[in-house]
C-alpha cells in the first residue's frame, strides 16, 4: 500500500505577502522531507480562496520536483471543471519531464464553488463541464493530435498538444466524494479512483466502491487497473494524547468555520472523538493506532492501493507537520507492508 500526503497550502491567518512566501517555503520543505523518509506521493490541492495558497498547484509541484528524487507528485484535486484540459495536460506533462516521470493528476469538481464565477462559468453546468472536460483530457493524453468538439470549448481540428510527458501514459485518477454516478463513470472509463472521505464512517462507502469495481469489470477492465485510493484527514504524533492535543483545536476552528457556510453544526469534542473512533474517518493518533486503522479501512473498502493524509487543515506548527511526516514514513508505512 502506498502512503502519501495531500496539502491545500494553508495560508497563515491574516498573513502578509511575506508570511505567505514563508508558508510556501515551509510547504516545499515538507515535500522534501516526505521524499527523504520514503513516502510515495505528495499532492497539492486547488482552491481559489483567501485561506489557501494552492490556486496554481503545478507551479508548487514544479518547484518540488527540483528538490526531490523519488516521490510521486500530483494534484489533489485539480478542479478540471474550471480549467482548460489542454493547459492542464501541458502543465502536468511539463511537470512529468521536470520530475523524470513522477507526475500524476487527480481531477475532480472540487468541494468549493468559487472557481465558477471566477472563470465565468455557470454553476448549473457543474456536472456537464466536468464530464466533457475529462473526456477531452483523456483524449489528449492518448493522442498527440486531437480532433474534438463540445459545448464548452472551441473545437480542436487535428491540432497537436505539446509537450508530451516522459511516462508513456500520464496517470489520471478521478477524485470523487459520495455521488454514485461518479463512481460508476470512473469504473466504466477504467480510471483509478481517489475517494475523499473527510467525515462519517469509512465502511459506509463500500457499496459505492463496489459500484466502481463492477462498472469497471463490465467495461472489460482488469481488476489491477481499478485502483482505489483513500484521501483522509489525519495526523500522527508520538502518543495519541499528543496527537489529539495538537490536532483538535485547529480542526474544530476550521470545520466550524466551514460549517457556518454549509449549514453544519459546530464541531464538539464528542463529534471529534466519534470521528477518531474505530469506524470514523479521521486518522489521528499514534503511529501504531493509525496504521491499524488504515488497515481496517482498507479491508472495509475491499482493498486500497494508496492512502493520503490531509494534515494542514488544523493550523499545526511547521515543526509538528514535519515530525508527523517523519512518523508516517518511518513508523506507519513499515506497518502497512
pLDDT tops 80 at residue 73: yes
Whether residue 221 is found in the same domain as residue 259:
yes
Whether residue 181 is found in the same domain as residue 204:
yes
Rounded mean pLDDT, 84-109: 98
> What letter does residue 329 receive in the DSSP assignment?
I
The pairing of beta strand 156-160 with beta strand 172-176:
unpaired
Rounded mean pLDDT, 23-29: 97
Whether residue 128 is found in the same domain as residue 177:
no
Q: What is the pLDDT of residues 211-260, one digit of tens each?
A: 999 999 999 999 999 999 999 999 999 999 999 999 999 999 988 988 88
The CATH number assigned to the domain holding 191 equals: 3.20.20.30
Query: What percent of the chain lies above the pLDDT cut of 90?
Result: 93
- Tell whether 79 is covered by a domain: yes
pLDDT tops 80 at residue 83: yes
What is the average pLDDT score of the chain? 96
Q: What is the pLDDT of residues 193-221, one digit of tens each?
A: 999 999 999 999 999 999 999 999 999 99
Distance from C-alpha of 84 to C-alpha of 70, rounded to nearest angstrom? 29
So what's the pLDDT on residue 314? 67
So what's the pLDDT on residue 97? 98
Q: What is the pLDDT of residues 43-52, one digit of tens each?
A: 999 999 999 9
Element counts in the chain: helices (H) and strands (E): 12, 12
Distance from C-alpha of 8 to C-alpha of 310, rounded to nearest angstrom? 8
Whether residue 112 is found in the same domain as residue 197:
no
Whether residue 109 is found in the same domain as residue 200:
no
Number of domain units in the chain: 2
pLDDT tops 90 at residue 337: no
Rounded mean pLDDT, 13-18: 90
pLDDT tier for residue 110 given thresholds of 50, 70 and 90: confident
Between helices 126-142 and 85-98, what is the axis angle to 10°?
50
Whether residue 191 is found in the same domain as residue 148:
no
Whether residue 144 is found in the same domain as residue 213:
no
Distance from C-alpha of 310 to C-alpha of 194, rounded to nearest angstrom? 13
Helix (H) or strand (E) holding 258: helix 240-262
So what's the pLDDT on residue 259? 87
Whether residue 54 is found in the same domain as residue 78:
yes
So what's the pLDDT on residue 101? 98
Given 129, 150, 169, which residue is the final one in a domain?
169
- Tell whether 129 is covered by a domain: yes
Q: What is the pLDDT of residues 271-319, one digit of tens each?
A: 999 999 999 999 999 999 999 999 999 999 999 999 999 998 768 999 9
Query: Other C-beta atoms within 10 Å of 171: how many?
Result: 18
Asked whether the beta carbons of 44 and 57 are under 8 A apart, the reply is yes
Q: Which domain holds residue 300?
A: 171-231+250-310
So what's the pLDDT on residue 60? 98
- Tell whether 325 is covered by a domain: no
The pTM of this model reads 0.96
3-state secondary structure (DSSP) of residue 71? coil
Whether residue 142 is found in the same domain as residue 35:
yes
Whether residue 147 is found in the same domain as residue 183:
no
> What letter does residue 195 receive in the DSSP assignment?
E
So what's the pLDDT on residue 29? 98
Using left for φ > 0, alpha for ψ between -120 and 50, and beta otherwise, residue 104 falls in beta
Asked whether the beta carbons of 5 and 32 are under 8 A apart, the reply is no
- Tell whether 335 is covered by a domain: no
- Tell whether 242 is covered by a domain: no
Rounded mean pLDDT, 53-71: 98
Distance from C-alpha of 101 to C-alpha of 166, rounded to nearest angstrom? 5
- Tell whether 323 is covered by a domain: no
Q: 74: Cβ–Cβ under 8 A, 6 or more apart, which residues?
A: 41, 42, 43, 44, 61, 92, 103, 104, 105, 106, 171, 173
Amino acid at each position: 500500500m502506498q502512503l502519501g500526503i495531500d496539502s491545500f497550502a494553508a495560508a497563515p491567518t491574516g498573513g502578509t505577502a511575506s508570511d505567505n512566501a514563508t508558508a510556501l517555503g515551509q510547504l516545499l520543505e515538507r515535500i522534501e522531507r516526505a521524499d527523504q523518509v520514503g513516502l510515495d506521493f505528495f499532492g497539492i490541492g486547488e482552491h481559489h480562496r483567501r485561506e489557501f495558497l494552492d490556486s496554481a498547484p503545478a507551479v508548487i509541484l514544479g518547484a518540488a520536483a527540483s528538490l526531490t528524487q523519488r516521490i510521486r507528485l500530483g494534484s489533489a484535486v485539480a478542479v478540471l471543471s474550471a480549467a482548460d484540459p489542454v493547459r492542464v495536460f501541458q502543465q502536468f506533462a511539463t511537470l512529468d519531464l521536470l520530475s523524470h516521470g513522477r507526475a500524476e493528476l487527480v481531477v475532480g469538481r472540487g468541494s468549493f464553488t468559487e472557481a465558477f464565477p471566477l472563470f465565468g462559468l455557470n454553476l448549473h453546468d457543474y456536472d456537464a463541464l466536468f464530464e466533457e472536460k475529462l473526456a477531452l483530457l483523456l483524449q489528449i493524453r492518448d493522442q498527440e493530435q486531437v480532433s474534438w468538439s463540445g459545448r464548452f470549448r472551441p473545437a480542436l481540428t487535428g491540432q497537436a498538444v505539446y509537450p508530451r510527458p516522459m511516462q508513456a501514459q500520464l496517470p489520471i485518477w478521478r477524485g470523487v466524494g459520495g455521488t454514485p454516478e461518479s463512481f460508476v463513470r470512473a469504473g466504466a472509463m477504467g480510471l483509478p479512483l481517489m475517494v475523499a472521505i473527510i467525515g462519517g464512517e469509512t465502511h459506509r462507502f463500500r457499496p459505492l466502491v463496489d459500484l466502481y469495481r463492477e462498472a469497471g469489470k463490465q467495461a472489460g477492465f482488469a481488476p489491477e487497473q481499478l485502483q482505489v485510493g483513500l484521501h483522509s484527514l489525519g495526523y500522527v504524533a508520538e502518543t495519541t494524547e499528543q496527537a489529539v492535543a495538537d490536532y483538535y483545536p485547529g480542526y474544530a476552528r476550521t470545520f466550524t468555520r466551514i460549517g457556518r457556510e454549509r449549514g453544519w453544526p459546530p464541531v464538539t469534542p464528542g463529534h471529534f472523538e466519534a470521528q477518531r473512533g474505530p469506524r470514523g474517518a479521521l486518522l489521528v493518533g499514534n503511529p501504531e493506532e493509525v496504521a491499524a486503522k488504515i488497515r481496517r479501512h482498507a479491508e472495509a473498502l475491499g482493498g486500497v492501493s494508496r492512502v493520503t493524509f490531509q494534515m494542514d487543515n488544523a493550523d499545526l506548527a511547521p515543526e509538528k507537520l514535519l515530525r508527523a511526516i517523519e512518523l508516517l514514513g518511518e513508523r506507519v508505512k513499515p506497518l502497512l507492508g
